[in-house]
Structure 1
Amino acid sequence: MTQELDAGQSIEAVIRQRIRGLRVARGWSLDALAARCFLSPSTLSRIETGRRRIALDQLVPIARALGTTLDQLTSPTSDEDVVIRPEPDCAPGRTTWILTRDSARASIVAAKMRFDPAPVGELGVHPGTEWFTVLSGTVRLHLGDRVIDVGEGEAAEFDTMTPHAIEAHGGPVEILSLFDRDGQHAHLHTYRDGGR
């Protein structure tokens, strides 16, 4: 019984914070929100500060006035909504951790990748743009007939219709990369099949 009450109280505290946060983000005073949801400013103040329990018949007009839904205002939070615990996907010379929760549906996918030194294979092309930043080590980026070293803390962005490949230069390298759907398919699936 105590655990249920504690859980209810924490959800109510989140709702209070969301109401106040949305109100402040819009630059509204208590009076301004009260006028939009037909509650008194003192009632809203007591709701936000926790001196009054929140009733469902008050939440509906508050949510409407704030331009949100009751579901969004009352949805519970948990660590699982915030923390991503990626599983490594290993292939010869490369390990990838997908950092986007629902990568199959996302338009942009973030991935951390670790490359070990290995000979560069055939340069690849695919539609889109690629972006990466080097977390540690030095990347040797083969871009058409150019070779560009990208050091720790530096980033690179290039058109992926230019033949390209990433090489770990002088030791292992870790990068954080963003892929659009074409890039995700071309790179992550190609790497799985042993290519670079």
Structure 2
Amino acid sequence: MDDEQVLDAVGARLRGFRQTLGLSLTELADRSGISASTISRLERGLVRPGLEQLLPLARVYGLPLDELVAAPRVGDPRVHLKAIRRHGLTFIPLGVHGGALQAFKVIYPPASKARALRYHTHPGREWFYVLDGSVNLALADNRTVLKAGEAAEFDTMTPHWIANANADRPAETIAIYGQQGERIHLTGP
């Protein structure tokens, strides 16, 4: 795809990202600081976006600029993973951010160093696979210990928490979240 084709397709991509997140033009305008009419013109391809529009949109969508505009890949094909630390856990994204599902390696600290556990609920589903160690999974009043090689999947509207079952070493999982679940796990207060 040449530069002209990439630029011609940007509007439809912008509209697709907004619709995937379920945002109205007004909601996106409020979050990005760009007027709803400008966003509408960008999405319809009536104007080409500049950095002053793309940067705030990339922040709202949580995407790098090259993915936002579908820039052709050049150079090193490796995905450079940056750890995200939230709520005492370490999340390592396992791919380029985008799409309805996101995969993360999640490292749980030893139980002796973990924060106090609280039940959480949020829209979506969660799936995880234990790579190393063992974790406690609490779903409402049911508690299960999962060991390396075991997986679990559940509706996240069920009150739940996950924690390391081992007091002296970290536990590692691979977790797949839908967009609502990812926002709760990675950007919640």
TM-score (norm 1): 0.53
How far did 1:121 drift? 2.1
Give a deviation string over 1:130-188, Cα, whole Å, max 9, x none.
00001100010011001110110111001111000110011311110011111111112
- Kept in 2: contact 1:136–1:173 (CA 8 A): yes
Paired residues, what number? Answer: 113
Aligned match of 1:79 in 76, 79, 85? 76
- Kept in 2: contact 1:95–1:115 (CA 8 A): yes
Supply the AA of the counterpart residue of 1:167: A
- Structure number with greater Rg is 1
Residue ranges of structure 2 left out of the alignment (5+ in a row): 1-71
Report the aligned-residue RMSD. Answer: 1.8
Please give the alpha-carbon distance, in whole angstroms, between the structure 2 residues aligned to 1:145 and 1:92: 22
Aligned match of 1:155 in 151, 154, 160? 151
Matched, 1:131 2:123: no
Aligned match of 1:121 in 117, 122, 128? 117
Matched, 1:164 2:157: no
% identical equivalent positions? 34
How far did 1:79 drift? 3.3
Please give the alpha-carbon distance, in whole angstroms, between the structure 2 residues aligned to 1:76 and 1:106: 18
Give a deviation string over 1:73-97, Cα, whole Å, max 9, x none.
xx776432xx212111124531111
Partner of 2:172: 174
Q: How does 1:15-164 map to 2 (within 5 A)?
A: 78-80=75-77, 83-91=78-86, 93-101=88-96, 103=97, 105-116=98-109, 117=111, 118-164=114-160
Give a deviation string over 1:22-47, Cα, whole Å, max 9, x none.
xxxxxxxxxxxxxxxxxxxxxxxxxx
Per the alignment, in what secondary structure is the counterpart of residue 122 of structure 1? coil
TM-score (norm 2): 0.55
| 130-139 vs 83-92, which moves further | 83-92
